[in-house]
Homo-oligomer: A and B are copies of this chain.
Amino acid sequence: MSGETLKERRSSPARDRVLQTAARLFYREGVHTVGIDRIIAEAGVAKATFYHHFPSKDDLVRAYVTEQGALQRAAVAAMPEGSPRERLMAIFAFMTEFGAGPAYRGCPFVNTAAEYPDPAHPVRQAIAEHRRWTRDLYRDLLAGDGHPDAERTADILLLLRDGLVVGFDLDDPATVGTAVQEALSRVLAG
């Protein structure tokens, strides 16, 4: 057997193009406003091919969310070595840098969740899974840094992270950036 026996992981050029195009459009314009026709047109893929790889649009949205999660996990894994404290700070520094950029449109998970009210929906479950991973990442880094209350502080950092992504999307980036720095020092000191 070849390397990739995983069920859903089968890749193909057309599928990748669809997913990449969908990611770009969904992030920039939202999920419900972007139609299948537009995605396949910009991806240069036939409609039958699209429905061959994704049984429905919701499956594509779920794949989009899952893909974004994988990208974030890969980005964290590829981060330069350092102490847990340094890594934690680097994560927030990266979000701040990215959030201040002109292409920033908020957090794909938070934005997509706003369009899927039902918590039981597969898309929402994929989002919930990524949020658990994020919180656990914070907790592990805090614990590795010897923080006395890693569990609760991780919850606070998630709170801060959500405020960050919303603020960078809706408010003045410079103001949000300094607020995040200040909040981090107050939270981690306390």
Contacts and interface: CB of A to CB of B under 8 A. Distances in A.
A179 B166 contact: no
B30 A152 contact: no
A170 B32 contact: no
Contacts of A80: none
Contacts of A160: 159-160, 163, 183
B190 A176 contact: no
The secondary-structure label for the interface of chain A is helix
Q: Which residue, of A169, A179, A185, has the highest number of chain B Cβ atoms within 10 A?
A: A179
A172 to B, nearest CB: 9
Interface residues of A, number: 43
B190 A186 contact: yes
A127 interface: yes
Given A163-B160, A167-B159, A185 B178 contact: no
A17 to B, nearest CB: 23
Interface stretch (A38-46, A81-89, A112-120, A140-148): A112-120
Interface of A: 28-30, 32-33, 105-106, 110-111, 113-115, 117, 127-128, 131, 152, 155-156, 158-164, 166-167, 169-171, 175-176, 178-180, 182-183, 185-187, 189-190
Given A110-B114, A114-B114, A155-B178, 7 more contacts: A30-B32, A110-B170, A159-B179, A159-B180, A160-B183, A162-B166, A186-B186
